[in-house]
Amino acid sequence: MNEEEKALVKSYFSPKKLRKKQYLLQEGDACKYLAFVEQGLLRSYNVDDKAVEHMLQFAWEGWWISDTYSFLSGEPAAYNIDAIEDAELLLITLPHFEEMMLQVPRMERYFRILFQKNIISKERRLLSSISLTAEEKYLRLQHSNPELVQRIPQQLIASYLGITPETLSRIRKTIVQKK
Amino acid sequence: MATRKIMAIIGANSKIGTLLAERMAPTYDLLLMDSSSDELMALTNSIRLQQPATNINSLACCREASWEADVIVVAAAMEQLPAIAQKIKEVTNRKPVIHFSPAGAATTTLQELLPHANVVVAELETAASTDRLQKVVRLGGVDKEALKLASEILARSFATAL
């Protein structure tokens, strides 16, 4: 990308600082932005009738986060997005996103590749969540995202894997003993 | 459940800044900024006392406040504009910035200083006495959403003050 394109791309985004525990999006609101994480750590999650949180995604430096359906359709969001650590974000609205794609075709290519990778990772996550044991799921996550396992509180990882914190703690103990 | 938006008020100690802070506290999380920190602290404490449920903080830096904010209000003296604009330029991209200015006073507009922000100018009547609350005589800006937001904020803030 040349300097002119860089400046143009930058002009579409709105910088936003989010403090720990602040919401970027709350369930029921329309998701106005697609967010790029420059600094910090965010999560998207849903809360069920029994007030149990279900983690959908984590996003840290270099990652994007949004409620994609709500962002594209303008319908109410099904998820909450908040900051696990203080964060610095770049936000873009749908009209600006579309305009940027038209003005800077390189960004269209970037997002096509990003979305392809995202589909693959979602497919893998779905398959592992319906076919693997709790221990296998944890080991796979640790292998593919060692930083995530280090940085994110254990109870959130348990929720991300769809297991209880007690089960995760037991698994971690077993793994340590095996070593 | 609506996510509470954050409003930064730069020049919170001014008449308009103080009025907006008091009136917007039920709706927005507030970040107040001004050069006199004693006065600012007094204002913050008085709003906290009147409206305990509100989330209000004072900041010493207008860049930090604008970076966190979803809406920025500039209610500072005209001669401070270039310095403020310089500080907040990078962090106000595509954000609504509502600038309160005496009617006809703007030689350099804030929009020129902040080319990528959605600036709305709320012109105030040029009252001789600075003690009385001033009236907004004109709203000007390019971005429709920012204009709509500014008129909503004004309707809520000035309904009983005009």
Q: What ipTM was estimated for this complex? A: 0.84
List the alpha helices (DSSP H) in A24-145.
68-73, 94-103, 105-131, 134-144
Q: Domain of residue A160: give its range.
A: 132-179
Is the model's pLDDT at B31 over the cut of 60?
A: yes
Q: Is the domain of A19 the same as that of A82?
A: yes
Across B113-142, average pLDDT: 79
Together in a domain, A115 and A153? no
Query: Do A151 and A102 share a structural domain?
Result: no
Task: Determine the Cα–Cα distance for residues B140 and A131; give it in Å rounded to an integer.
Answer: 59
pLDDT digits (tens, 9 = 90+) for B8-17: 999 999 988 9
Same domain for A156 and A84, yes or no, is: no
Task: Judge if A174 and A116 occupy the same domain.
Answer: no
**How many domains is chain A partitioned into structurally?**
2
pLDDT score recorded for residue B67: 96
- In this structure, the answer to whether residues A92 and A137 fall within a common structural domain is no
CATH of the domain at A100: 2.60.120.10
Are A107 and A153 members of one domain?
Answer: no
Q: Same domain for A123 and A60?
A: yes
Type of residue at A154: Q
**Which of A14, A70, A94 is the best mutation test for B, with the most CBs of B within 10 A?**
A14
Greater confidence (A32 vs B108) lies with A32
Measured between beta carbons, the chain B residues lying within 8 angstroms of A99 are none
- The DSSP output letter for B151 is H
Between CA B68 and CA B89 the distance in angstroms is 13
| B chain contacts of residue A95, beta-carbon cutoff 8 Å | none
Same domain as A164, residue A89 = no
Considering only CB atoms, B91 lies closest to which of A12, A15, A25, namely: A15
Q: Which residue bears the tokens 């974000």?
A: A89
- In this complex, do A15 and B70 lie within 8 Å of one another by their Cβ atoms? no
Instruction: State whether A79 and A140 are in the same domain.
Output: no
Do A115 and A151 fall into the same domain? no
> What is the domain class of B6-158 according to CATH?
alpha beta
pLDDT band of B161, cuts 50, 70, 90: very low
* In chain A, % of residues over pLDDT 70: 100
- Answer yes or no: do A144 and A99 share one domain: no
On chain B, the residues whose CB falls within 8 A of the CB of A27 are 1
Contact A15 B67 (CB under 8 A): yes
Region A70-79 average pLDDT: 96
Note the pLDDT tens digit of each residue in A122-165: 999 999 999 999 999 999 999 998 988 999 999 999 999 999 99
For residue A140, give how far its alpha carbon lies from the nearest alpha carbon of chain B (Å): 35
**Is A17 within 8 Å of B64 when comparing Cβ atoms?**
yes
In this prediction, residue B162 carries a pLDDT of 43
- Whether A12 contacts chain B with CB within 8 A: yes
B91 touches chain A (CB under 8 A): yes
